[in-house]
Amino acid sequence: LQSAASMCPVMAMGVKPGDRVLDMSAAPGGKTSYICQLMRNKGVVIASDLKPERQKATVANLHRLGVRNAVTCCYDGRKIGVLMPNSFDRILLDAPCSGLGVISRDPSVKVQRTMPDVKRCAHLQKELLVAAIDALNHKSKKGGGYMVYSTCSVAVAENEEVINYLLSKRDVKLVDTGLDFGKPGFTRFEHKRFHPSVALTRRFYPHVHNMDGFYVAKIQKLSDKRKGVEEEDKNEQTAEKASNEVEAVDAMEVEGDKSEEKKIVGAGGQNQQQNAKKRKGKKKRGSNDRTRNDDGPRNKSKKISYAPRAEQQVQNVQKKKKTNAKVSKPRRMKITGM
């Protein structure tokens, strides 16, 4: 038997006969059989689950209840968004969770589950939820584009945090579940703050509603936009444009510098040529002046003496005597007789 809380997600889906529906975690088949009952065996229901061993129970229940519009398969839910994009009118994701909501009838969960298990489940739920949105067709002519996310847990990390993550990654919005009972979801918990629309989700508690702890959220897909990826692409495009502009400006500056250098070099070459011509003219003038001086007055100014060496030595001695330097002579001791 299926618990009463497990029927709430199917009631929130609002399926109609002729819809194309995906149940991402179908085993053991309780919600799948209820969806087929509401569709009156019209349309198509794809019942997928990761483990073939669990699908045996799904097939047995569908045959036992006389379901004729269901197809069972074994796919990794994280890859369905790539394998079957925009293919379904409505999707149900009863995600694998820690099971903290069933402690009232199964106390062993308190001993078996730890915080790392909760974190691991939360990461898996985020991947499955994003893949489910990618497989949802928002342009459906049957009024589709809706999916329901549910867990049998009361942990905020597996419920409100996962929904808030989806709102930041895909172009979706939360809508009313259509359930008259249940507590609204948390918009703030401890130091964490969530989107205000998270209050449209529903929480069920064992001590309040006399059923298992459960969480239900109904999501509408608006478009195929991917917020995180598109923002990164925009940032990359702006960065590429900025780099291209900088490169163009640098190239213009380099070309301007080269043209200025050419002008400077050309002007310098002209100046050098003019200076070289001036130097050549000066050299010619100087050579003419030297030749004239060599022929005339230089020879007159030179006096060649043919005196012998002795006379030159005498003249050198006389020149030395004419110096004003004082020469100190040693004093002679007078020798007196005794």
- Please give the positions annotated as active site: 152
Rg of the Cα atoms in the chain: 52
Produce one character per residue of 213-228: b if its CB has 16 or more CB atoms within 10 Å, e if not.
Answer: bbbbbbbebeeeebee
Q: How far apart are the first and last CA of the chain?
A: 164
DSSP code, position 334: P
Indicate if the alpha-carbon torsion angle 113, 117, 136, 160 is positive or negative. Answer: positive
DSSP 224-256: EEEHHHHHHHHHHHHHHHHHHHHHHHHHHHHHH
Helix (H/G/I), strand (E/B), else coil: 23 = strand
Provide the token pair at 186: 């948390």
Closest alpha carbon to 126 in 190, 175, 169: 169
Burial of 125 (0-12, 13-18, 19+ CB in 10 A): buried
Q: Which residue has the tokens 């990794």?
A: 76
Return the H-helix or E-strand segment holding 71.
strand 70-73
CA distance 61 to 37: 13
> Regarding beta strands 183-184 and 202-204, do their DSSP bridges make them parallel or antiparallel, or are they unpaired?
antiparallel
Closest alpha carbon to 82 in 130, 17, 23: 130
